[in-house]
Amino acid sequence: MKSLSKSTTTMFLFDLIILGLSTYLWSNFFGYTPKAVGILCFFVVLIGLVVLFLKGNYKIREFNINFKNTYLLFEGIIMTHVLPALYLLIFAASITCTLKFLAVNTVTIFVLLRLYRAFFHLYLFNIKKEKNILVLGADDRARIIADEIQGKKALRMKVVGFVQVNNTDEDLISDNKLPVYRNIDNLKQIIDEKDIDIVVIAQATELIVTIPRGIEIYKMPDFYEKVTGKFYIDEKTITELYYQYTTHRSIVYDFCKRTYDIIAALIILIVTLPITGLTALRVWLTDHGNPIYTQPRVGMDGKVFKCYKLRTMYANDYVPKAGKIKEETAGINDDRVIPFCRFVRKARFDEIPQMINILKGEISIVGPRAEWENLVNIYKKEVPYYSCRMWVKTGWTGWAQINQGHCVSSEDITEKLQYDLYYLKNRNVLWEIFILVKAVFLALGGRHD
C-alpha cells in the first residue's frame, strides 16, 4: 500500500541537501583537498540520514518539535560527526582547523534542520489540507479506527462521519460527536458534499459499489496497520493471517534469515566480548556465583528451551503471579540488581549470551520476544490469541521492542501482541536488518527500556 503521507520523503530530501551542502561549503572554506571534501560529504550525508532515521525523525505520524525531539535532533547531528572527526584527526594537518570545521558544520546543520522543522510544523498543522475520511460502519471497529485517526494529528486526517450499514447495530460511536448517516442508498452524494478523500470499510456493505472512482478505499484492518504500525486483532483477521502464513512460506526467506541470524550473532558476540567478559568477571568477583545462568523460555510452536543470560542480580527465587506481573517484575532500580550492572541491564548487554541460542537455532535475531515460560503460561490465559505469536521463531529483539520497549503488564502485552503479529504478517530480511540496527542504536543510547 502506498504511504499515507509524502511529508516523510520531503523531509528526507531536504535533510540530504542540508547535510551535503553545509559540509561541502564549510570543508571548502577551511581549505580541505577535493578528496577530503568528497569523503566528508559522503560520511556526513550517509551517517546523518541513517542516524536521523533511527532517531525517528521520519516517523511522520508522531512528528512534533517539542524539546525531546529537538534534543534528539542535536544528539543525532553530534553522532553524525564522530566518524568525520576521526578521519580529520588522523589525516588533517591542523587539529584547530578540524575543531573549527566540526563546530561550525554541526551548528549550521542543526540550525537549518531545526528551522526547517519549525516551518514544516507550521505548514503541517496550520496550512496543509486535511484528508477527509468517511467510515463505512457504526460498530466497534469504526470507533477504534476513528480514535486512532484522530489521535495522529500529524497525519492531517479527519473523520467526517460514519455510515451505519446495519440497522440492527447499536450506535457505539455516538460519544464521538461525529455524524452518523443512516438509510443511505448511494454514497456519491455524501462523498461530494463532504469532499471525501478516503473511505475506510469497517463493515462489509454493498454500498461500496457506489463509491466514485478516484476515492481511496481501505479495509479497516489494513488502514489500522498503516496508521499505527500494529496488527488489528479479531477472529477474522487472525484467520486471514494464519491462511497467509501457511500458504506463503518461502524457502528463500528461511535460508536468508538463517544466514543473517548466524552472521549477525557472530558479529555481536565478537564485538561485545570485552564488555561481556569484564562484566561476567565482576559479577563472579561480587558473590562468586556463576555469571551465566539459564532461564526456561518459550520458542516457536511453544517449545521450551534454556535461554542463556548474563546474571546481573543477586540470587533469588522470584516467580511471577497472575495479576501482579507489572509490580513484581524487576526493573533497573530493583534492589536485587547488582549496582554496577544497572547500565548493563538498561543497554541489554545481559542478553548478549542469547547469541548462543541463535547459533543453536533456538531463536532468531528478530522475532516476537522469547518470553519466560512462567509468564507465557499467564499471558496465554489473560490475552486472547497470544499463542499466535509463536507461529514463527521467537527473537532476541523485534518490532515490538523497538516501538514499545520491554513491558510486562497484561494491558501492554495485548499491544505488544499487535506489534508481534504485524511483524509476522510483514516480515522480510531487509526490514529485520533495520530492526536489529534500531535495537542496537536504542540500547547503546540507554533507551531500550
Helix H, strand E, coil C: the string for the chain is CCCCCCHHHHHHHHHHHHHHHHHHHHHHHCCCCHHHHHHHHHHHHHHHHHHHHHCCCCCHHHCCCCHHHHHHHHHHHHHHCHHHHHHHHHHCCCHHHHHHHHHHHHHHHHHHHHHHHHHHHHHHHHCCCCEEEEEECCCHHHHHHHHHHHHCHHHCEEEEEEECCCCCCCCCCHHHCCCEECCCCCCHHHHHHCCCCEEEECCCCHHHHHCCCCCEEEEHHHHHHHHHCCCCCCHHHHHHHHHHHHHCCCHHHHHHHHHHHHHHHHHHHHHHHHHHHHHHHHHHHHHCCCCEEEEEEECHHHCEEEEEEECCECCCCCCCCCCCHHHHCCCCCCCCECHHHHHHHHCCHHHCCHHHHHHCCCCEEECCECCEHHHHHHHHHHCCCHHHHHHCCCEEECHHHHHHCCCCCHHHHHHHHHHHHHHHHHCCHHHHHHHHHHHHHHHHCCCCC
Instruction: Tell whether the model's pLDDT for residue 398 goes beyond 70.
Output: yes
Q: Which residue has the cell 496543509?
A: 128
pLDDT of residue 167: 66
Backbone angles phi, psi at 356, to 5 degrees: -65, -40
Do residues 208 and 329 share a domain?
no
CA of 111: how far to CAs of 10, 15, 63, 106, in Å? 18, 12, 18, 9
Please give the radius of gyration of the chain, using alpha carbons only, rounded to the nearest integer. Answer: 25
pLDDT of residue 11: 86
Confidence of residue 72 (pLDDT cuts 50, 70, 90): confident
pLDDT of residue 8: 77
Of the segments 172-176, 265-269, 403-407, which one has the largest average pLDDT value? 265-269
Which of 350, 315, 313 has the alpha carbon at shortest distance from 334?
313
Answer whether residue 236 is part of any domain.
Answer: no
pLDDT, tens digit, for every residue of 185-195?
A: 888 889 999 99
Answer whether residue 296 is part of any domain.
Answer: yes
* Chain centroid offset of residue 287 CA: 38
User: Could you tell me the CATH number of the domain that includes residue 213?
Assistant: 3.40.50.170
Do residues 112 and 165 share a domain?
no
Answer whether residue 92 is part of any domain.
Answer: yes
Do residues 264 and 195 share a domain?
no
Do residues 109 and 149 share a domain?
no
Answer whether residue 166 is part of any domain.
Answer: yes
pLDDT of residue 419: 95
Describe the crossing of helices 410-426 and 235-247 by its angle, rounded to 10 degrees.
Answer: 40
Q: Answer for the pair 59, 76: CB distance below 8 angstroms, yes or no.
A: no
Instruction: Tell whether the model's pLDDT for residue 175 goes beyond 70.
Output: no
pLDDT of residue 365: 95
Residue 446 CB coordination number (10 Å): 12
Do residues 212 and 260 share a domain?
no
pLDDT of residue 328: 42
pLDDT of residue 120: 87
Degrees, nearest 5: CA angle 369-151-153: 115
Q: How many domains does the chain have?
A: 3
Confidence of residue 394 (pLDDT cuts 50, 70, 90): very high
Q: Which residue has the cell 515490538?
A: 400
- Supply the mean pLDDT for the chain: 86
Do residues 274 and 178 share a domain?
no
Q: Which residue has the cell 508481534?
A: 420
CA atoms within 13 A on the CB side of 315: 7
pLDDT, tens digit, for every residue of 232-246?
A: 999 999 999 999 998
Do residues 169 and 110 share a domain?
no
pLDDT of residue 327: 43
Confidence of residue 1 (pLDDT cuts 50, 70, 90): very low
Confidence of residue 204 (pLDDT cuts 50, 70, 90): confident
Spatial distance between the Cα atoms of 117 and 76, rounded to a whole number of angstroms: 15
Answer whether residue 264 is part of any domain.
Answer: yes
pLDDT of residue 254: 92
pLDDT of residue 270: 93
Do residues 316 and 220 share a domain?
no
Do residues 41 and 139 share a domain?
no
How large is the average pLDDT for residues 187-213?
A: 90
How large is the average pLDDT for residues 242-253?
A: 89
Instruction: Tell whether the model's pLDDT for residue 263 goes beyond 90.
Output: yes
Name the percent of the chain lying above pLDDT 70: 88
Answer whether residue 72 is part of any domain.
Answer: yes
Do residues 47 and 138 share a domain?
no
Spatial distance between the Cα atoms of 376 and 339, rounded to a whole number of angstroms: 29
Q: Answer for the pair 350, 275: CB distance below 8 angstroms, yes or no.
A: no
Do residues 51 and 190 share a domain?
no
Answer whether residue 300 is part of any domain.
Answer: yes
Q: Which residue has the cell 481501505?
A: 218
Spatial distance between the Cα atoms of 397 and 407, rounded to a whole number of angstroms: 13
Domain boundary residue among 178, 213, 228? 228
364-366 and 292-298 strand pairing: unpaired
Do residues 121 and 135 share a domain?
no
Instruction: Tell whether the model's pLDDT for residue 148 goes beyond 60.
Output: yes
Which residue range is the domain that position 155 belongs to?
131-228
pLDDT, tens digit, for every residue of 8-56?
A: 788 889 999 999 999 999 999 999 999 999 999 999 999 999 998 888 7
Q: Answer for the pair 190, 134: CB distance below 8 angstroms, yes or no.
A: yes
Instruction: Tell whether the model's pLDDT for residue 156 goes beyond 70.
Output: yes
Name the percent of the chain lying above pLDDT 90: 50
Domain boundary residue among 107, 126, 145? 126
Answer whether residue 354 is part of any domain.
Answer: yes
Domain boundary residue among 196, 228, 260? 228
pLDDT, tens digit, for every residue of 323-375?
A: 555 444 455 455 677 777 777 777 788 889 999 999 999 999 999 999 988 88
How large is the average pLDDT for residues 172-190?
A: 77
